[in-house]
Amino acid sequence: MAAFDGKTVLITGGGSGIGLATARQLVDAGANVVLAGRRVETIDLAAKELDPSGDRVLAVGTDVSREDELDELATRVRGRFGRLDGVFANAGMASYNPIAPRSDVSEAEFDRYVGVNFKGAFFTIQTTLPLFDDGGSVVLNSTCLVHRGMGLAMGLATMYASTKAAVASLARLLAADLASQGIRVNSVSPGFIRTDMLDELAPTDEARDVCGQLVPAGRIGTPEEVADAVTFLLSDRAAYITGQDLGVDGGLVGSLPMNTTVQQ
């Protein structure tokens, strides 16, 4: 029997990168998966790739910053699968301008970051809670920048990290709030992971090499390596783990690579 047989998991931002890698692992482990995302064509293609029959993967176009669309998402999930056993609140946005020495943040940009990264995660969980009826697991996607400040285009990267810090705090608080319902809540904090978001920050091989040199593991991570952590936290193997943040960063936060230390 596969680890997720009979279980249903919702993944926001599920059409690419870490979300898609996690969806692939969950489908392979027997789960029904709901992919939610703003780019409808992207999640539709992902759903067809994961499950050509359409029996076990449902794609729902959703902007998580809009409560009406989250309500529609919950209705679609209930109508198709009846319930949820897990949520991976993965949807997020980041925009970098690595050339300009300063990137001023407008009020509209501020509201957009908060709306997608923090408000979106909060209301995704609040809206889907009624679909949990026998415990379950929630994982929120944060970032290593919550734990280590890095100079990445002052302004916009700061907004990304700040809203993700709110997400990490939300995971700890919800772990206490939802414990009586048997729902575990944790977060993951990825480091440099080869996704579209990183490619915007580091668009050339040379730039990505610089990022890799900052990591004690000596390389950039893959979406599948973060998905391994998320799948574990969603599974029954993590039954006694809640209120935790799991760094998946190759040592970026906790260690210094040898090439940054003084050589004797």
Q: What's the CA dihedral at 193, 196, 202, 205 to 10 degrees?
A: 80
Q: Which residue has the tokens 């970098």?
A: 96
Alpha-carbon distance of 159 to 21, in angstroms, equals: 26
113 is catalytic: no
Using alpha carbons, select from 52, 46, 51, 50 the residue that is nearest to residue 60. 46
**Is the Cβ–Cβ distance between 125 and 88 less than 8 Å?**
no
CA separation for the pair 236, 219 (Å, rounded): 31
Amino acid symbol at 172: R
Catalytic residue among 96, 113, 160, 240: 160
Q: Which residues 6+ apart lie within 8 Å of 177 measured at CB?
A: none
Residues identified as active-site? 160
